[in-house]
Chains A and B, each alone.
Chain A
Amino acid sequence: MVISPFILLLISVGVGYLSSNSSSNSEPEIAVISHTPAVTATKVTKTTDAFTSKSMSEATAKRKLHDNDLDGYVVISQQKSGRLTAKYTGNKKMSAATQTGLIAFLQKSQQAQNIMDSKVTARQLTTLSRQPSITQHVNNQGKSDNETYKVVAFYLLVVMAYFILLTYSTITAQEIAQDKGTKIIEIIFSSTTAQKYFFGKLLGIMGVICTQIAIYVVGGYLSFNIAKVGGDFKELINDNSHLIHMVIGNLINVNLLFVFLGVVIYTILSAFSGALVAKAEDANKAATPAIYICLAAFLLSFSFIDNPTSVVTQILSFVPFMSSFFMPIRVIDGSVSGAGIGLSLIILIVTIGAMAYYISSIYEGLMLQSDNSSFWNRFKRGLKYGNK
């Protein structure tokens, strides 16, 4: 599970490599035959990769086309009027990109030919070549880059949070539901207290999460440095180094704390819901409450990514279970003060503390009651069962 992102990365790199190799070897191509010295075949073949650099006669091209050694061939000639013509013959249609490249090249050649035929003076040529000028002045230079890094940082953060929450909420709830459903919990509670069991489970799962995040950070750092040194990604990384640093900067800051605390609060909720199942067979259902809330927060946050200053985003950035998704939107946007971030963190930490304290105090009753009734009845029964 932990190494799955690296496996995915390796697979995608492998697929990309194979794909690029296969596309570069995708013979046959299009041959160019020119009957005019004004437009040589060699010049045309340099316009796009779709043309073969091999020169050949029209008869050879026709034969190769028949033998499927060529996709097609273009015959370029010049009429008496000086007009350039290109005639394509092929087994399949010429791609739009190839056609655009060919037209652009022929237009340029035709224009040069027209100027020569017109015998215009240098001054006239300058006049004819006059072009309109468009200049742009953008305030806040680099804003588009900022917009990009915000979006990238947000998506990375939220998707990472969502998958970690989803994975570990499910694991927590299922493990606890299994302990309860198999009744092994009775043996455990004859050996340790419910509070120790509860906090032990939480700490254990937190330990696994931290290990997973650490592996991703180290793995990501190593992959980044390897990619920077060489390989297909070197150019991409160098071209976008500013963007990459901005994104990383927005991941490794207070947002990571919001994600971590989100994991804690969702794990507590999962531990609680896992304690409310009646049978081991229901272990899979145990994570449902946490998954639904997590999914709602995840989807809602996507709706408000472009609206970080809306009232909804502002309110939800202070609501526990939601703030781990919504406060990072505002932090990345830079539209929240330090006091706002602090207040949201305090609310989240206090809620986590209160939930952990209350749930641990009723945990023995919740885990030991085994009514096969509704959620609320099981909850009420659990409260009475362990009421000491």
Chain B
Amino acid sequence: MLSVNNVSKQFDQVKALSNVNFSINDGTILGLIGQNGAGKTTLFHSTLNFISHDGEILWNGEPITEKSFDEVGYLPEERSLLPKMTIEQQVTYLAALKGMPAKMVSQKLPGWMKKFEVKGKPTDKIKDLSKGNQQKVQLICTLIHDPKFIILDEPFSGLDPVNASLLKAAILEAKANGATIIFSSHDMNNVEEICDELVMLKDGHVVLHGPVNQVRNQYPRTKLIISPTIPISDVATIPGVIDAKQFSDHYQLTLSSEEVGKVVFKRVSNGEYIETFSQQAPSLDEIFRMKVGEIDE
């Protein structure tokens, strides 16, 4: 279990983290979301005890120190491999630092390369791999020693949808094996898809925390998607409709309250069949944008 208790970090005039509090149970995936500079990487660095901070971050009741390093798998935000090494040398080097014997790496590496569909042989040099394959090798370095606590800083960045699916599958497999996983992402779909919980940071503050569904359900169902039966101008003028957008096959309305939905339904259906009428809470992406102030809450 990871407990983050009242963690703050100040860099010169910048407050990078401010009284951050949350906890994650074993076998849970937590998505850490926030804009660039919100404090996600600083929180990871504090968790790994790279930097000093106020408050405490405990893994199974203790700060992460050399004693627990072998249980941790960490993928930094920037892709970091030594280009002159071969895949096998690179994975063996980093796995050895986690206490994994080279022989075991040799046994497990082909399986991991197959799982991530890395094109190439273990003897290929890192510099000769494509960026996508380099990223997969780095993920292998993070996961090959079966860590109990996995920190992934922007793991989906730069991955195409097919490779993102491979990574999601690997994360879910690690979860099934009992690992606790925390990852940061700008892509809310990934967070919605695989996370049990999320923490949203804004300027170093936690502005949202909880199970993903619970977070979404905190918000009223003021988002309405309907198939067009009448002109959009007729819908936009209904009292309580704040915003109306026309897309190729549907309209998207923003309502002032859930109750307005009933009024809209009456108007657009007029007692007749309607193909689409979906009233829902805002998506995680919309909640994120609301929270970071891009759109009004």
Contact = CB atoms under 8 A, between A and B. Distances in A.
Interface of A: 178-179, 182-193, 364-365, 368, 384-388
Nearest to B74: A190
B72 A184 contact: no
Interface in B271-290: none
Contact of A368 (B50, B75, B82, B83): B50
Contact of A186 (B12, B50, B70): B50
B224 interface: no
Nearest to B48: A190
Contacts of A187: 74-76, 80, 94, 97, 141-142
A388 B52 contact: yes
A388 to B, nearest CB: 4
Interface string B63-82: 00010011010111111111
A190 B49 CA distance: 9
B81 A184 contact: yes
B66 A186 contact: no
Nearest to A185: B80
Given A190-B72, A191-B69, A386-B52, A184 B11 contact: no
A186 B97 contact: no
B94 A191 contact: yes
Contacts of B70: 191
Interface in B10-61: 11-12, 45, 48, 50-52
Contact of B51 (A188, A193, A385): A385
A184 B80 contact: yes
A384 B11 contact: yes
A192 B70 CA distance: 9
B98 interface: yes
Nearest to B52: A388
Contact of B69 (A178, A186, A192, A364): A192
15 contacts: A178-B82, A182-B83, A183-B76, A183-B79, A184-B80, A186-B80, A190-B48, A191-B98, A192-B66, A192-B69, A365-B51, A368-B50, A368-B51, A386-B52, A388-B52
B130 to A, nearest CB: 17
Greatest chain A CB density within 10 A among B11, B50, B74, B75 is at B50
Interface of B: 11-12, 45, 48, 50-52, 66, 69-70, 72, 74-83, 94, 97-98, 141-142, 151
Given A186-B74, A187-B74, A386 B51 contact: yes
Given A368-B45, A368-B50, A188 B82 contact: no
A186 B72 CA distance: 12
B97 A192 contact: yes
A387 B53 CA distance: 9
Contacts of A184: 80-82, 94
Nearest to B64: A190
B66 A193 contact: yes
Nearest to A195: B66
Nearest to B51: A385
A365 B52 CA distance: 10
Nearest to A368: B50
A183 B72 CA distance: 17
A61 to B, nearest CB: 68
A364 B48 CA distance: 12
Contacts of B12: 384
B109 to A, nearest CB: 17
Contacts of B72: 190-191
Contacts of A384: 11-12
B128 to A, nearest CB: 16
A385 B11 CA distance: 8
Contacts of A368: 45, 50-51
A174 B117 CA distance: 33
A44 to B, nearest CB: 68
Contacts of B79: 183
A183 B141 contact: no
Given A179-B82, A384-B12, 7 more contacts: A187-B74, A187-B75, A191-B69, A384-B11, A386-B50, A386-B51, A387-B52
* Cβ-closest 4 pairs across A and B: A191-B97, A183-B80, A190-B74, A184-B80
A187 B73 CA distance: 8
Contacts of A385: 11, 51
A132 B70 CA distance: 91
Greatest chain B CB density within 10 A among A187, A193, A386 is at A187
Given A190-B69, A192-B66, A386-B52, A182 B74 contact: no
Given A190-B69, A192-B97, A364-B50, A182 B45 contact: no
A374 to B, nearest CB: 15
Contacts of A182: 78, 80-83
Nearest to A188: B97
Contacts of B11: 384-385
A47 to B, nearest CB: 63
A368 B82 CA distance: 17
Given A178-B82, A183-B76, A384-B11, A189 B98 contact: no
A174 to B, nearest CB: 12
A283 to B, nearest CB: 12
A212 B114 CA distance: 41
A363 to B, nearest CB: 11
A297 to B, nearest CB: 32
Nearest to B78: A183
B100 to A, nearest CB: 10
A180 B202 CA distance: 28
A182 B66 CA distance: 23
A112 B124 CA distance: 85
A385 B10 CA distance: 10
A384 B11 CA distance: 8
A292 B244 CA distance: 68
Contacts of B75: 187
A179 B82 CA distance: 8
Contacts of A387: 52
Contacts of B74: 186-187, 190
